[in-house]
Structures are given as structure tokens and as C-alpha cells.
Structure 1
Amino acid sequence: MRIRNRATREQDVDHRQQWRDPHKGLWLSGLIVPLTPFIAWGLVTLLGPGLFWAAGLLVIALIPSLDRFYGPDRTNPPDEVMKQLENSRYYRWCLFPYIPLQYAGLVLACYLWAYAPMGVPERIALATTVGVVGGLAINVAHELGHKRTSHEQWLSKIALAQTWYGHFYVEHNYGHHTRVATPDDPASARFGESFWRFWPRTVSGTFKLGWQIESKRLRRQGKSVWSLRNNVLNAWLMSALLYIVLIAVFGWSILPYLIIQAVFGFSFLEIANYIEHYGLLREKRPDGRYVRVAPHHSWNSDFVMSNALLYHVQRHSDHHAHAGRRYQTLRSFGDSTPQLPGGYVSMGACALIPPLWRRVIDKRLLAYYDGDVTRLNRGHVDDEAGPAQDAA
């Protein structure tokens, strides 16, 4: 027995020494996005056309082609390296610089909106670039907000301040992860629901749910809802202070563009939310409660480039199974879960055109459920048990 255990340990050490992350360098690609305001400024300065103010959108538009070039990759790190991979500082430093770069780009944009000789269309184009940065910052906040260290949780709130989406910190962790793939989750899209119907429902619903969850938590502890202990209020306060400082420095003329970039940014998040659980429904137990979240309750995509850009959020099943797991260790479940035919960027473009989305996705969804529409999330049409509750 002792010899076998020693042999097993030696084999584990051998696996750790041999395995290398095949996409290690690509994780730095996420930092290209917060640089796009600077790239836009440089391109316009050097080449002239105002179209380059929309550099954020132009960079994002390249991703589907890069996805096709790199293709999908469903390989997973061996179990023996997971702890070492989880603790690697390299992957954290592929993530942490996003936030200072994000705010440097925002300050640059405010300066340009206030003082650069730009027309309104050019200012709006720059606002879309800043919105792309803010939208992907929500994804960074998503990664950090699930961690247990206080500095990562605060960094998550800081990343959310630009888009006034601080309530996401509470709603996502304690609302969405409990209610996901049920009619009671405002962030889970229903079968047949277009993105344009989903957007107002999820924007208002996540705001309300985040406030309700945090208010209930504080009342349970005997504390006032109207205090800095309220994680929704202190996150909104960060946004308010940020905007007050920017307007004090650069003037009121920047406010319309701050609003445009914020709406543009959190809409990027909501496109991802729409894609991630569209039409999927958790089954019910005999007592009427929903079963625990399983891998087949999320859509997944293993395209390499968009996964690198989005810090593996497309491996969404493993994220819901292990919410605290760091992005570099998330696993692919292959064809045992619903699979998207492309990455989030190409699928997001489809989502903006409802007939195209339904043509591409509905047949896949129905095939996954063997054509049984009663197994789909269609809202409360099939729900007689009231609000969703997680399995005990």
C-alpha cells in the first residue's frame, strides 16, 4: 500500500511537471479591450477617419474570425494540477490590470469629450468604445465578485462603478445563482423571448432583486438598510462619487456620453445573460422544488479566443457548479451540455436580430429536449408551485 501511494504521488508530480496551459499567452488578450480608447485616439490622430473612435466595436468584431481560426478546445487540465493552477499569480495579473486601464481610458475619454474637436457622432462612437470597456469590466467584476478575499470583492465593485451596475454584485451571487434556469430568475431568458423583450425585464428585475436580497440580509442581522453596510448602496455611492468627480473636472458636457457608455456597457452584460440560459429549465422534484443546478442548465462554448477575451465565462456550466473556482481552472463538459455554435460575440450579434437567433438556437434547444416544449423555460405558463427555491 505504501509503495502504491508513493507511486501515485510520483505520478501526480510528473503530471504537474509535464502539463502546460496551451493558451497561457492568450489570457493577456483581455487587456487589449481597456486599451481601445487609447488605440482609437492614436488611430484618429495618425490616420484621420472618425470611424476609428469606435475602435472598441471594431476589435470586438474581429473576435468571431479569430474564434474560427483558433477553433474550439475542450481539453481540461488534469486534476493533479488544479490546485497549482488555481494558485498561480500569473492568471491574476492577467486580470487585475484591467481595472486601472479601464479607468485610465475613461478619464481619457472624458478629456476628449470635453476638449477635443469632435462632432457628436464621433463623441457617440467614442462612447461605444468606452461602453465596450465597461461591459467587459462587468465580466471582470463577475470573476472577482465570486472570490472570498475582501480586496477582490472591493475590486469587483470598483469595476462595476463605471456602468452604475453595482447591484449586480449582490443580485448575481445571491439571486441568479439560486434562481438560474427558472421562471423566477430575471437574468434567465425564456424560450421565444427576444432580447429586446428580455432587456427591460432583466434590467429592472435584477435591480429589484438585488435590493430585496440585500435589504433582507441587513434586516435579518438587525441592521439598517440605509447604511454603508448595504452592498448595493455602497456600490452605487462609488458610481455617484465617480461621476461627480468626472463632471467637476471636465464639466457637464460629458454627462450625456457617460450615460451612453453606461447603458451600452451594461447591455453587453445583458446580452451575455440572455445567451447563457436561454430557454433552459431546471427540473422539479416530487415536492415541487427545483433540483440543484446541473451542467445542462447552461449554454456553453469552447471557442478559444472568445474564452480568452472573456476569462472563460463561456464555460458556464462549471462556473455554476463551482462559483468560487478561478477562470483558468473552469472545465468543459463537451456535448453533455447544450453547445452554442459560436462564441458569445457572434451569438450576441445573432441575439440582436430575433428571427436569426430563433432560427439558429431554437432548433438546437428543441433537439436537446427531444422536442418536448414542456421541458423549456416558458415563464410561469407551466409553473404552479410559485417562486423558485433551490434544492435543499
Structure 2
Amino acid sequence: MTTLNPALPYRDRKRPLWLMSLFVPALGLIGPALYLLVAPLNAWLWLSPAFFYFGIPLLDALIGEDPSNPPEEAVPGLEADPYYRWITYLLVPLLWLGFIANAAFVATQPLAWHGVLAMIISTGGGLGFAINLGHEMGHKKSALERWLGKIALALCCYGHFYIEHNRGHHRDVATPVDPASSRMGEHIYRFVLRELPGGFRRAWQLEKERLARCNQSPWSLGNEVLQPALISLALYGGLVAVFGIALLPYLLLTAFWGAFQLTSANYLEHYGLLRRKLDNGRYEICQPHHSWNSNHLFSNWALFHLQRHSDHHAHPTRRYQSLRNFENLPRLPSGYFGMYLLAYCPPLWFRVMNPRLLQAVNGETARINFQPGHRERLMRQYHLQDAPA
């Protein structure tokens, strides 16, 4: 563990670089700006998707990784520094303005179908950043941050994530009952059909049970699933009222692509990892080795250290700037953006990640979350055997 030399006050070398968390999502405006100011070419609109899915993995490879941690003595000061919070505060209006500006651009410009597709992918990628921001702020204790998290999630019509993630996923993570934990042998296109509806059902049920304990109806305004949903309805309804019903397919497809960015992150964060079931029927406490991690610098700057996922599950209220790396954890070969591309091609994903999974669990089948119906095939394919009872 790093310790602080009292003669040398700790300085966060990454401090200015966290502004990348503002800069990278703002790149979704570059294509429309070039289209309007330079020349009306649909090709401009593909610049942001190209950077998100190819440029960031390249930068991760070139810049590399940083496994260092802040000294624990410095963490209270880091957590109290308002600079880091203001970055998250500023990202909320930036994301909202970008989403509305892109919707207006699509509604008013004669784009080719592939230009509209580029805008869906680019703006939907921005919504992925909004969900990540909601994830960071939704875990905090202050009412302001929690509400800003809901407002960010409302952009993507994904406000239920506030409940589903905090009270559902963190409870059930790395178990077969968690719709947000992927299984060995499960490709991402099957996972999305389980995760998206499963997450909403769990969020609604959790909130329904909470309100019942308070003698309130699930249809009351106290329902924290409905609160951001009403914001989403006002936003999307307002855009349709201003620009016409023809904009609605673009809005819905963009929202889906934003939700799919969360699915992509969930898919790789706990792939195949399993918490042991104890004799009392409960699962063991979530440990750092139940999450996949990455220390790749650029994508961590863009994602508020989301890729240090083990420490997040161990300490959900710990702020992004002080999340730690741990030794001997399951490691991803790239940052999240590079892993997304791998996940979208299941044969490549299985070829790369299944051996890494087996290495991470030391070949212990009791620590693998198998896709139902695939266990025997995978055990034969990788020459696995159950440990003797």
C-alpha cells in the first residue's frame, strides 16, 4: 500500500486529465459542427463513432496502464476536493445540451440514412457516458448528486438503473440470479435479451416492495423508477412536439444504443465469475476477484475510473478519483472500448476471454458462472473437472 511522506504533500498527477471526462463525451458534437460549418458531408458524422470505438482503444494501447494508487492518508483530502465533484456536475448540462443539439440537427438536416445511423451511434455513445455518470453520482450520499444522477439517466430513458444497480446488482453480482452478470458461454446478443428486461423488472419489484413497507402505492411520485421516467417523457415528448413525430424513431434507437453501452459494460465486468454459495443458502460476500478490471489510462479518464470495478463493488460510495487497483485480479487485455469491439464478435470474445477466465479462477469450476446448457460442452472443450466433494 502506498504511504504518504509528510514532507511531500500528495499531488494527484491525473488531476487535470480528469477533464477528459468532459472532453470525450463532447466529441459527439464534432461531426454536426463540421457538417454545418465546413461542408455538408455525412462522412463527418462518423468521426465520433470512429474515435470512440477505434481511437480510444489505440490511445489505451499507446499510453498504457497505471496501476498506482493514492496513499490512503491522502484519500480524505481527495474525496473532499470540490474540483472532482464539479467535473461531474458540469457533465450533466453538457450531456443534455449535446443530446438536444444532436436531435435538432437530425430533425433539420437532409441526412442520408447512413448519416442518421452515424448520429444514432454517436449520440447513443454519449448516452452511455450519461449512464456512467448516473452510476458515479447515484452511489453518493448527497441529495444533489443523487438527483443529478437521475437527471443524467433520464436522457437515456434508463432511470430505473438508479434502483436496479444500487440495490439489485450490488446485492446479486456474480451470481446466476443477477441479470447484469454475464455467464461463461453466453454471447452479448443473448445477454442483452436477459439483461435489459431483467434489470427493469428487478428495479420495479425492489421499488414496489420499498413503497409497500411505507404504505405507498407503486404509482406514487415517491417511486424512484417513475421520477426519472417522467423527466424522460417530458424531454422526448418535448422534442417530438417541436420537431415532429418523424424524429421519434431516431430518439428511440438512440436511447436503445445508449442502453446497449451499459449492457456492453455489464457484459464484460463480471463475465463468467461466480461467488460461492454457502451452506446457509446465501452467496459469499462480493470480493475484488469477482470483477474484471483494467488500468488503461485513457479510457479510465473518460469513464471516471469505472474500470477499477473491484474497488467500486467493495466500496460503492468511494469517489472515482480514489478508486484503487489491487494485485492478482482478473485483468482485461484492453480498456472497455476495445473490449466492446471484441464482445460484438462472440467467437473472438470466447477465444480471448474464456482462457483468461479459467486462469483467473485457477480452473476451479465452482468459481465459474456457466451459461445454462453449455456447462458440459465447455468442460469438455477446456478439459475441466469438478473438484471432488
TM-score by length of 2: 0.92
Superposition deviation, residue 379 in structure 1: 5.0
The answer to whether the aligner puts 1:18 opposite 2:9 as a matched pair is yes
Q: Deviations over 1:208-257 (max 9, x none)?
A: 00000000000011111110000011121111111111111121121111
**Contact (CA 8 Å) 1:56, 1:130: kept in 2 or not?**
no
The answer to whether the aligner puts 1:149 opposite 2:142 as a matched pair is yes
Aligned equivalent of 2:20: 29
In the superposition, relative to structure 1, how do residues 244 and 34 fare at CA in structure 2: closer, same or farther (>3 Å)? same
Partner residue of 1:228 out of 203, 221, 238:
221
Aligned equivalent of 1:351: 343
Superposition deviation, residue 207 in structure 1: 0.6
SS of the equivalent of 2:127 reads helix
Aligned equivalent of 1:130: 123
Q: Give aligned pairs, total.
A: 371
Partner residue of 2:367 out of 375, 378, 391:
375
Superposition deviation, residue 287 in structure 1: 2.0
Unaligned runs of 5+ in 1: 1-10, 384-392
Amino acid at match of 2:166: N
**Contact (CA 8 Å) 1:168, 1:206: kept in 2 or not?**
yes
SS of the equivalent of 2:183 reads coil
CA–CA distance in 2 between the matches of 1:12 and 1:293?
29
The answer to whether the aligner puts 1:365 opposite 2:357 as a matched pair is yes
CA–CA distance in 2 between the matches of 1:89 and 1:82?
13
Partner residue of 1:238 out of 213, 231, 250:
231
Superposition deviation, residue 14 in structure 1: 1.8
In the superposition, relative to structure 1, how do residues 55 and 81 fare at CA in structure 2: closer, same or farther (>3 Å)? same
Aligned equivalent of 1:68: 61
In the superposition, relative to structure 1, how do residues 294 and 136 fare at CA in structure 2: closer, same or farther (>3 Å)? same
Aligned equivalent of 2:271: 278
Superposition deviation, residue 22 in structure 1: 1.8
**Contact (CA 8 Å) 1:366, 1:372: kept in 2 or not?**
yes
Amino acid at match of 2:181: S
Map 1:300-319; keep pairs closer than 5 Å: 300-319=293-312
Map 1:117-266; keep pairs closer than 5 Å: 117-266=110-259
Amino acid at match of 2:31: A
Superposition deviation, residue 47 in structure 1: 4.6
**Contact (CA 8 Å) 1:161, 1:235: kept in 2 or not?**
yes
CA–CA distance in 1 between the matches of 2:372 and 2:140?
33
Unaligned runs of 5+ in 2: 376-389
In the superposition, relative to structure 1, how do residues 330 and 366 fare at CA in structure 2: closer, same or farther (>3 Å)? same
In the superposition, relative to structure 1, how do residues 12 and 63 fare at CA in structure 2: closer, same or farther (>3 Å)? closer
Superposition deviation, residue 285 in structure 1: 2.1
CA–CA distance in 2 between the matches of 1:150 and 1:96?
13
Amino acid at match of 1:80: E
**Contact (CA 8 Å) 1:247, 1:255: kept in 2 or not?**
yes
Identity of aligned residues (%): 45
CA–CA distance in 1 between the matches of 2:199 and 2:4?
44
CA–CA distance in 2 between the matches of 1:375 and 1:148?
33
CA–CA distance in 2 between the matches of 1:356 and 1:367?
17
Superposition deviation, residue 163 in structure 1: 1.2
Amino acid at match of 1:272: A
The answer to whether the aligner puts 1:55 opposite 2:38 as a matched pair is no
Superposition deviation, residue 167 in structure 1: 0.7
Which has the larger displacement, 56-65 or 264-273?
56-65
CA–CA distance in 2 between the matches of 1:208 and 1:276?
21
CA–CA distance in 2 between the matches of 1:38 and 1:186?
33
Q: Deviations over 1:176-233 (max 9, x none)?
A: 0000000000000011100011011000100100000000000011111110000011
Aligned equivalent of 1:7: none
In the superposition, relative to structure 1, how do residues 194 and 380 fare at CA in structure 2: closer, same or farther (>3 Å)? closer
Q: Deviations over 1:88-111 (max 9, x none)?
A: 111112222111111111221122
**Contact (CA 8 Å) 2:292, 2:332: kept in 1 or not?**
yes
CA–CA distance in 2 between the matches of 1:136 and 1:37?
11
Which has the larger displacement, 279-288 or 211-220?
279-288
**Contact (CA 8 Å) 2:4, 2:10: kept in 1 or not?**
no
**Contact (CA 8 Å) 1:374, 1:382: kept in 2 or not?**
no
TM-score by length of 1: 0.91
Superposition deviation, residue 381 in structure 1: 7.5
CA–CA distance in 1 between the matches of 2:98 and 2:186?
35
Amino acid at match of 1:362: N
